[in-house]
A and B are shown apart, each in its own frame.
Chain A
Amino acid sequence: MSSVKILLVDDEEIVRINLEAYLEDEGYYVLSANSGEEALDMIADQKIDVGIIDMRLPGIDGNVLISELSKLQPEMKFIIHTGSMGYSLPASLVELGISDELVFKKPIKSISKFTGMIRKLTEGKV
């Protein structure tokens, strides 16, 4: 079964474990990391479809991480999941095709929003 692989990067444990559990329940394959560095190590041999990335991270921040991941796997899609209400997309990420609708601001009241967006991003893939 060629299931959709999700990379989940968040240093907030409660966010990470809940989102991981939810996505797994929904049938996704989830890799989770609590920092950018850990995430980069983890994906070395795996192809990720969608990355759900927190912006404020210990070490390298979300923006840098997305740029790095994108360099490694240009096919990879991203959902930005941030707690900063004032967050706005930097030009570098817009260049990568990331739009405002991919910016999820915490707290997300309806968890199904994630699966909805993931489905949309992975439509091309069966």
Chain B
Amino acid sequence: MKIRAKILMFLIILAGISSLFSIYYSINFLSTKYENTAKENLLKLKEQTEGVFYGYLGELSRKGLFISELNEVALNINEPEEISTSLELKIFFLSSINVKVVDLDNRIVVNVNNSSESYINEKTLLYESFFKRSKNSLLRKTGIVSLGENICFVSISPIMNQDTFEKVGDLILELPLDSEFSDQIRNTVRAEIFIFSDDKGIATTMLDDNGERLFPDSFDLMSTKGEKIFGEETYLIGTFHINDHLGKKIGNVVVAYNVSDIQRTKNLDVRSVLLVFFTVFLFVIVVSILIGRWLAKPLRTLAKSAQSISKGDFDVKIGIKSKDEIGELSRLFNSMARSLKIQKKDMQKMQLYLKNMIDSMPSVLIGIDKDGKVTQWNVEAEKKSGLNPEDAIGKKIEDIFPQFASQLAKFQKSIHEKTPQKMEKIAERVDDELKYNDIMIYPLISNGVEGAVIRMDDVTTRIRIEDMMVQTEKMMSVGGLAAGMAHEINNPLGGILLGVQNILRRVSPDFKINRDKAEELNLNLDDIFKYLEKQKIIYFLEVIQRSGERASDIVTNMLNFSRRSESHFVKSDLSSIIEKTIELATNDYDLKRKYDFRHIKITLDFEKEFPDIPCAENELQQVILNLLKNAVHAISENKGKRKDPEITLRLFREGAFGVIEVEDNGPGMDRDTTKRVFEPFFTTKEIGVGTGLGLSVSCFIVTNIHKGTMFVISTPGKGTKFIIKLPLEEK
């Protein structure tokens, strides 16, 4: 969550909570205040009502006294009409009070009813205890009387003749507690008044919607705690009892105080409070947002810069210059970025250095983790597998180098036991060629790191050199053997060859001496010769001679393997040696028998100003002649292939070496033959044709005597190329 949002949320929560508390207390306060006011008002109203209520009783009493003391009443007791008329004139004074004049016999003589109802009659006077009195009683009496279902204020006053001081009757004033009465109270106290006799409503000031007087249920009304709603108005209810003259409860007066106005005021207040708080709340939000923004702005700048840094841009500079914590933070941030930049540079340098080191190794170096997944991949590994580091890293090693699959157990062992493992001469077939690798596994030894470094070296060349050395050794032992044998073989061989030639000579009719000897014995030499020819004896002898010669060649060649010290090195012109050798080949009788050298196109491609190099001329000639013979031999097998026979000889410099190439366009050799051409006694020629030593001797001369190298490239169907490299300077 963003700081802005946090600040916003925090302030909103703070404002919200305080507002809620304030609102709660304000409303509570308002409500309490309203309630108290209402209750106080109600109480006042009730008291007022009670006062007014009983005031009417007192007034009734006073009015009774006043009227009873009027002479016109006392004097006219026997003239009721007079009294009635007089009383009717005092209607304003009496308002709704019923006036009755009772004579001494308890008869009502005057009955002026100003109220709509009157509940006192002669019977009432007889039976109601309030009215019971002695005839001459001068007692004045005022009280509340329950008459049937009704209640009245009643005042009884004796009517005295002022002159005689004799009682002439009683004046009874009756004020029924009806709606008219309640209306009068209402007009004074400004509250709705209900009067109940027991439970029956006898007076009400409330009108229903139709303007009819409304009598609410007494129980419902009086059980009301708090507010009561009539129509659209709300009322608080207060009650006081009506007790009769004997103190017995006969009814209730209910005061209904209209609190709608107060409530409206309260609601208005509550609304104002809410409005105020809402405004404050809004203000807080706006301020919060502004504060949030103001506080978050530098933080956002910092965050952006941090993002830039995490993306690798260490050149960001934060321009916040304030003196507060954020300013300090930004300064620290800038210095952090600077030191990160330096550190990264150093790290990159180091990484580059290490990578260079690893990449400049001529070995394949691969890092793997304990699951055999690649973690490091150097240039050699890339070259060998053809896979980029991006593609290789994360892959299983055996998926990239299937030849490792059989070594996985050793990898695991190495990692597990933290001991290096070495596997030598692991063979691998690449493009139909056998390659050898030495594989070493060095476990990572630091704690907590599980993995290993695999080092793989292509030792094919070394193994080939080793093989070649073995071959050389072989050849040298052949040479040593030959040197010992040569004399023993050459002597009898020399004799055999001389013998054959002698025999051929002595049977030949061409020599006179032979014919003379034949004549001595009376023989015809021609016949003898014919016989010998016929019997192929001459041919046999020739074959013996050729075989002897070949045996001689073999011995000579074998001896070449041991003749190192004898060859003396002279700086020579290789091109002239080559040309001389071609000359030799052209005149070679054996070669002519095979294929006429003159029919072969000889191409010479010599580098200009090729320097003289130290070499043993005779031996080198022998090598080149041998190669030429082989080339001719190969071309002679191009039967029917309609290829113009061609031998190309090249001479050029390559680094510290002079290179001689002899290339033919013969049938070429397959891989197995190519591999074995330098082996002693290996030959593809028919039995009796080659010695099987020519190329091995050539190779020996080049590698052992001249410290050069000799190898062959052959493509079946295209031809063969022998390449000789000789050091330009003697070592």
Contact = CB atoms under 8 A, between A and B. Distances in A.
Interface of A: 12-15, 18-19, 21-22, 25, 56, 81, 83-86, 105-111
A21 B555 contact: no
Given A25-B511, A83-B487, 17 more contacts: A12-B495, A14-B499, A18-B499, A18-B501, A19-B498, A22-B502, A22-B505, A56-B487, A83-B488, A84-B486, A84-B487, A85-B483, A106-B494, A107-B548, A108-B494, A109-B549, A111-B505
Contacts of B486: 83-86
B501 A111 contact: yes
A83 B559 CA distance: 12
B717 interface: no
A21 B513 CA distance: 12
B674 interface: no
B491 A15 contact: yes
Contacts of A83: 486-491, 494
A19 B235 CA distance: 170
A14 B555 CA distance: 19
Interface string B134-148: 000000000000000
- 5 tightest CB-CB pairs across the interface, nearest first? A14-B495, A106-B494, A83-B490, A107-B494, A18-B498
Contacts of A108: 494, 497-498
A21 B505 CA distance: 10
A28 to B, nearest CB: 12
B566 interface: yes
A19 B487 CA distance: 18
B563 interface: yes
A14 B498 contact: yes
A81 B506 CA distance: 23
B638 interface: no
B541 interface: no
A85 B555 contact: yes
Interface of B: 483, 486-499, 501-502, 505-506, 511, 513, 548-549, 552, 555-556, 559, 563, 566
A114 B498 CA distance: 11
A106 B491 contact: yes
- Most chain A CB within 10 A, of B486, B491, B559, is at B491
Nearest to B565: A86
B490 A105 contact: yes
A55 B501 CA distance: 23
A93 to B, nearest CB: 18
Nearest to B499: A18
Nearest to A88: B566
A12 B492 contact: yes
A21 B506 contact: yes
Contacts of B505: 22, 25, 111
A106 B493 contact: yes
A79 B218 CA distance: 176
A101 to B, nearest CB: 16
A111 B498 CA distance: 6
Nearest to B517: A25
Contacts of B491: 12, 15, 83, 106
A22 B501 contact: yes
A42 B288 CA distance: 143
Given A25-B505, A56-B487, A107-B548, A85 B556 contact: yes
A12 B499 CA distance: 12
A25 B513 CA distance: 7
B487 A107 contact: no
A110 B505 CA distance: 12
Contacts of B555: 85
Contacts of B488: 83
22 contacts: A12-B491, A13-B495, A15-B494, A18-B501, A21-B506, A22-B505, A25-B513, A83-B486, A83-B489, A83-B491, A85-B486, A85-B490, A86-B559, A106-B491, A106-B493, A107-B493, A107-B498, A108-B494, A111-B498, A111-B501, A111-B502, A111-B505
Contacts of B501: 18, 22, 110-111
B313 to A, nearest CB: 81
Given A15-B498, A18-B502, A107 B563 contact: no
Q: Which of B497, B555, B559 gathers the greatest number of chain A CB atoms within 10 Å?
A: B497
B506 A25 contact: yes
B513 A107 contact: no
Contacts of A22: 498, 501-502, 505
Given A18-B502, A21-B506, A109 B552 contact: yes
A86 B483 CA distance: 8
B559 A21 contact: no
Contacts of A85: 483, 486-487, 490, 555-556, 559
A110 B635 CA distance: 30
Contact of B490 (A13, A21, A106, A111): A106
A19 B496 CA distance: 11
A86 B480 CA distance: 12
Contacts of A111: 497-498, 501-502, 505
A12 B487 contact: no
Contacts of A14: 492, 495-496, 498-499
B57 to A, nearest CB: 176
A43 B372 CA distance: 92
A106 B485 CA distance: 13
Contact of A107 (B490, B511, B566): B490
Nearest to A19: B498
A81 B495 CA distance: 12
Contacts of A105: 490
A86 B482 CA distance: 11
Nearest to B548: A107
Contacts of A15: 491, 494-495, 498
A21 B517 CA distance: 13
A42 B383 CA distance: 81
Contacts of B502: 18, 21-22, 111
B545 to A, nearest CB: 8
Contact of B494 (A12, A21, A25, A56): A12
Contacts of B549: 107, 109
A25 B517 CA distance: 11
Contacts of A21: 502, 506
A107 B24 CA distance: 137
B99 to A, nearest CB: 188
B421 to A, nearest CB: 52
A110 B566 CA distance: 26
A81 B513 CA distance: 26
Nearest to A15: B495
A22 B494 CA distance: 14
A81 to B, nearest CB: 8
A114 to B, nearest CB: 9
Contacts of B483: 85-86
A19 B495 CA distance: 8
Nearest to A55: B487
A88 to B, nearest CB: 8
Contacts of A19: 498
A18 B495 contact: yes
A83 B486 CA distance: 7
